[in-house]
Amino acid sequence: MFVDSHCHLDKLDYQELHNGIQDVIAKAKAANVTELLSVGVTLDSFPNMLEMIEPYDNVYASCGVHPLDVDSDFALDTLNEYASHPRVVAIGETGLDYHYQPETAELQRLRFEQQVDLAVKLNKPLIIHTRNAREDTLDILRNGQAQRCGGVIHCFTEDLAFAEAAMELGFYISISGIVTFRQATELKQVVKALPLERLLIETDSPYLAPVPHRGKQNQPAYVVEVAAYIAQLKGCPLHEVGQKTSENFRNLFLR
Ligand SMILES: [Zn+2]
Ligand SMILES: [Zn+2]
């Protein structure tokens, strides 16, 4: 059994590739992927995403404003209202991305701090996106007491020291299809060194399809390829990676 801990179900191709969200969920189930978390990136897009996933008991949602979407509409009371919906299990994605948008760094930090405060207040875990902003990410998590709500560093691409600092705050580390890419040599070493007890797996669909699907649009069923790659790196059975990461998912998001 496998869980896709991070996908954007509202962004998949429903024209050519899938016959509605039920088709995506059925393809996942056929691959033994039994639970999905569909992650919000703006307040504007959240109601539609929630409406899409609500009929399916095995699909959860998060709400938040992505660091690359900080120019979208934002109101704390709206976020608070969305976050209080019973199917919403996390706040995010939020965080910092200085790689793609260094020019919005100040606003990114403000939005990140606001979302950390809300997550702590509501005691919902955080889904963190971070790129080229290690120090500021850790500072904001520490200053905001994020260890009280916990969370996950999603689509992890940082170094081992950053993973260890995040784990010290009680955070999980989520591995995406990037680990299967040939050039991701450092990430492979980091994944080898991290305990299975702290790992989640994700697709980040529709982005980052793992090998051997690279170049196609990603979908939750493909999370099994990420699990298989981790099993191979760690020299442990695939079912153990599936079981452990599913258990971690439940401990973090369905507590
Ligand atoms: Zn992200
Ligand atoms: Zn994402």
What's the gap in Å between 254 CA and the centre of ligand 1?
21
First to last CA, the chain: 19
Q: What is the pLDDT of residues 209-237, one digit of tens each?
A: 999 999 999 999 999 999 999 999 999 99
Ligand whose nearest atom lies closest to the CA of 204:
2
Q: Is the pLDDT of residue 255 over 90?
A: no
Q: Residue 8: nearest ligand to its CA? A: 2
Extract the tokens encoding 113: 């701090």
- Residues near ligand 2 ion, CB 5 Å cutoff: 204
**pTM for this model (two decimals):** 0.97
pLDDT at 50 (0 to 100): 98
Expressed in angstroms and rounded, the spacing between residue 97 Cα and the centre of ligand 1 is: 9
Looking at the CA of 96, which ligand is closest? 1
